[in-house]
Structure 1
Amino acid sequence: MSLAFLLTSLIVVASPGTGVLYTLAAALTRGSRASVAAAFGCTLGIVPAMSAAMLGLAAVLHTSALAFAALKWCGVAYLLYMAWQTLREQGALAVETDVDARSAGRVIVTGFLINILNPKLSIFFLAFLPQFIATGEAHPLLRMGELSAVFMAMTFAVFVVYGLFAAAVRDRVVSRPKVMRWLRRGFAGAFAALGARLAFAEREP
C-alpha cells in the first residue's frame, strides 16, 4: 500500500461533503451512537460505487448521458428532500434523546442512500483507483478490491472521528433553541448547495 494512495485517500475522505455533513447532523441531534450509524451507512454506500467500478458499470455512467443524468437527478432530489426535512425539524436534524435499533437503522439507510445516489462516486472510483494499480499487476481486480477496502476503512474511521467530536458538544448545542434554529438553516442550506453542485455536475470527457 503506497503512501501516496493513503495520503490522497485521506484528503478525499476528510474533505467535507454530503457524508460528512450527514454524520455531523446525526451526531448533533442523536448523539454518538447515531454518528457511528451514519458513518457506517455512508461507508456502506461506497460498496455499490466500488462494485460498479470493478465491473465496468461506472464506464456506462461515464459514457451514457441518460444513465448519468437519471442517477444524478435522483441524487439532487434526495439532497433537496434532506434540506426540506431539516428545515421542518425532521430527518437529519430531528432531535432524538433515545436512539433505538429502528432509529439507528433509518440513520444507516439515509447515509447509504446519500452515497449511492451520487454518480460522481462511481466515476471517482473508476478514475482514482486504477492509478495505484501497477500495469503488470497479476490480479488487478483483487488489487482494486484491496484498495477499495482500505478506502472504506479510512472513510468509516474519519467519519466516526467527525461524529464523535460533534457528539461531544451536542448537549451545549441542543439545549439552545436559537443555536439549533441557525444550525438547521445552515445544514439545510448546505444540503441544498450540495444538491445544486450535483445538478451542475457534468460527465468527465
Structure 2
Amino acid sequence: MELSAPAKSVVVFDYGFGNVRSAERALARAGAEVEITRDFDRAMNADGLLVPGVGAFAACMRGLTEARGDWIIDRRLSGGRPVMGICVGMQILFARGIEHGLETDGLDEWPGTVAPLEADVVPHMGWNTVEAPAGSELFAGLDADARFYFVHSYAVQEWGMETGNPLLHAPKVAWSLYGKPFVAAVENGALTATQFHPEKSGDAGAQLLNNWIGSL
C-alpha cells in the first residue's frame, strides 16, 4: 500500500498587516497545513512562509521589522527556504517605496521602486489579466486570459538588476497593464511574490497557490 506524502506546512506570517484569515483558508483549500503565527521557530521551520500585506509601505515595513520578519525572510532565503509575498507583502521585498513623497527602504531582495500608479483612476481595484513569463512554474496550467484580483495604488513599474539579493538570480517577471505596465508577479528561486491577491482570485488564484505549494 502506497502512503500519501504529508501535507506541506505553510506559516502565514502575522505581523499585523494582511488578510491572514483569507490567506489561511485559501492555502488550506490548496492542500497545505497552515498556521498563522509570528513565532520565530515555526516561521523558520515551515516548508513555506507566506507574507501578506495591506496598507502603507512604511507601516508594513515597520510592523515587519518589529516582528523580526525581515530577519526571518533573509535567513530563510539564505538557506533556500521558500517565501511568498502578496500585495504589500510583495512590495516590501523591493529596494524602496515612495508614498506621499516619503521614501522608505524595503528589504532590497529585488531592485526597483514601488511608486504611485500612473493611471487615470487609482486605486487599481478589480480583475485583470497577467502576462506570465516563459517557463513560469507559478502560472503553470493557467490560460493566458486568466484574471486575477488586484487592489493597489502603488506598484513597481520599472525593473533593473543593479541591486538586490546576490543569492537570487534570473527572476521570471510577470507584467500587467493599468495605465502603464507594472510588475504583477515575480518568481525567483526560493522567493515568489504577487501584486494581486491569489486568495481572492477564484479558480485561477487557487491554481496558482496549488502550484506554489507543489514547489515546496
Question: Normalising TM by the smaller chain, what interval?
Answer: under 0.3
- Using CA pairs under 8 Å that are at least 6 residues apart, name the structure with larger relative contact order, 1 or 2: 1
Greater fraction helix: 1
TM-score (norm 1): 0.25
Greater fraction strand: 2
TM-score (norm 2): 0.24
